[in-house]
């Protein structure tokens, strides 16, 4: 069964939405138009871990089986008796971030079950169906048709069952999507995914503007205190056509462009926490032009203040998914303060 799933993933590739970079004005303008367009539906973005069901088993999109970590979902899928069914969705805890969820997804079976006994059982929120219980493939059907089939499945087999409290559908809007996004953000949730109504479940690389994430971002100012080296070995798919090779330990290997060029990998950013200089995060997202400039003059950028956007704070109080935006020329390192979560 696991080999079948891995073969499926290698051929299909779990479809994942692209992320809008809202620092680019032209993309923001296009995104606003998508919110108003009848060609897109909006679904709530669930903050959890991406999992697919394959019959009565659950796999991460990397092909790692974790079925027994979720015995309540496993037993229900066994009860349904649908070996052909393939669903796509998110393992999540309501009102918790994906970091909390990884305490279950990243644990072994016993640890996962013990954790859920103490903190409650994970939920599975579905957003797509790739194969019906009768074995009919739907990946070449448009999104809205797949969604209608998924809703019919939910109404027939989930609604009113004992698992309705744990298995859900993503909330969806076909109209008033701008208001929907504002309501989602106001409620403290992660954001929305805009899905083109005629989009297929595309194999391989997903076309731009088919599924687009729109998420709330916070921002903060930190200052540069150091640099991380780049990764050495290139592990991408197009090795044959790769232009950057070097001898490492007397062996010629493909290396990353940053390593080949002698550039930094990421900048180390800090802030004053309780009066002490404390590392807060490392940050990439730097243009190649700026990366080359920093690499050539690293001391020049120490203590420079950087504006960073991030999704939210982690449970420990650090910025989650930080991204460099720009340097502040008029702000000093002493002005950069931060608070961590107590406990």
Residue 327, pLDDT > 50, answer: yes
pLDDT in tens, 281-298: 998 778 899 999 999 999
Same domain, residue pair 117 and 186: yes
Same domain, residue pair 28 and 103: yes
- The C-alpha R_g of the chain, in whole angstroms, comes to 23
Same domain, residue pair 166 and 239: no
- Which structure tokens are listed for 187? 């409620």
pLDDT in tens, 63-97: 889 999 999 999 999 999 999 999 999 999 988 87
Same domain, residue pair 211 and 234: no
Q: Which CATH number is 314's domain given? A: 2.40.50.140
Same domain, residue pair 229 and 200: no
Same domain, residue pair 34 and 16: yes
Residue that terminates a domain, selected from 215, 242, 271: 215
Measured between its terminal Cα atoms, the distance across the chain in Å is 43
Instruction: Give the count of domains, the chain.
Output: 2
Residue that terminates a domain, selected from 215, 239, 254: 215
- Which structure tokens are listed for 240? 């044959």
**Distance between CA atoms of 172 and 130, rounded to whole angstroms?**
18
**Distance between CA atoms of 288 and 290, rounded to whole angstroms?**
5
User: pLDDT value at position 12?
Assistant: 45
Range of the domain at 331: 219-335
Residue that terminates a domain, selected from 215, 245, 273: 215
User: pLDDT value at position 160?
Assistant: 94
């Amino acid at each position: 069964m696991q080999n079948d799933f891995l073969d499926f993933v290698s051929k299909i590739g779990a479809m994942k939405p692209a992320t809008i970079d809202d620092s680019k004005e032209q993309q923001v303008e296009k995104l606003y138009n998508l919110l108003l367009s009848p060609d897109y539906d909006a679904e709530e973005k669930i903050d959890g871990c991406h999992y697919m069901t394959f019959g009565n088993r659950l796999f991460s999109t990397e092909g790692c089986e974790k079925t027994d970590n979720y015995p309540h979902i496993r037993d229900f899928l066994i009860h349904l008796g649908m070996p052909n069914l393939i669903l796509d969705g998110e393992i999540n805890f309501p009102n918790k971030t994906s970091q909390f969820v990884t305490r279950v997804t990243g644990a072994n079976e016993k640890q996962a079950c013990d954790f859920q006994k103490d903190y409650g059982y994970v939920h599975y929120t579905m957003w797509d169906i790739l194969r019906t219980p009768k074995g009919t493939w739907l990946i070449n059907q448009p999104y809205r048709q797949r969604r209608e089939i998924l809703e019919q499945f939910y109404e027939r087999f989930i609604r009113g069952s004992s698992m309705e409290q744990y298995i859900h559908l993503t909330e969806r809007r076909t109209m008033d999507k701008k208001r929907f996004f504002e309501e989602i953000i106001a409620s403290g949730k992660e954001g929305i995914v805009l899905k083109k109504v005629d989009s297929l479940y595309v194999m391989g690389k997903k076309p731009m503007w088919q599924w687009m994430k729109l998420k709330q971002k916070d921002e903060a100012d930190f200052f540069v205190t150091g640099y991380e080296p780049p990764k050495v070995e290139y592990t991408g798919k197009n090795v044959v056509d790769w232009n950057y090779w070097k001898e490492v330990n007397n062996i010629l290997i493909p290396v990353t462009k940053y390593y080949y060029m002698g550039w930094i990998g990421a900048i180390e950013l800090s802030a004053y926490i309780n009066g002490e200089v404390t590392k807060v995060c490392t940050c990439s997202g730097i243009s190649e032009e700026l990366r080359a400039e920093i690499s050539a003059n690293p001391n020049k950028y120490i203590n420079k203040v950087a504006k960073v956007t991030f999704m939210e704070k982690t449970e420990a109080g650090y910025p989650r998914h930080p991204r460099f935006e720009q340097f502040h020329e008029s702000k000093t390192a002493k002005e950069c303060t931060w608070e961590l979560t107590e406990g």
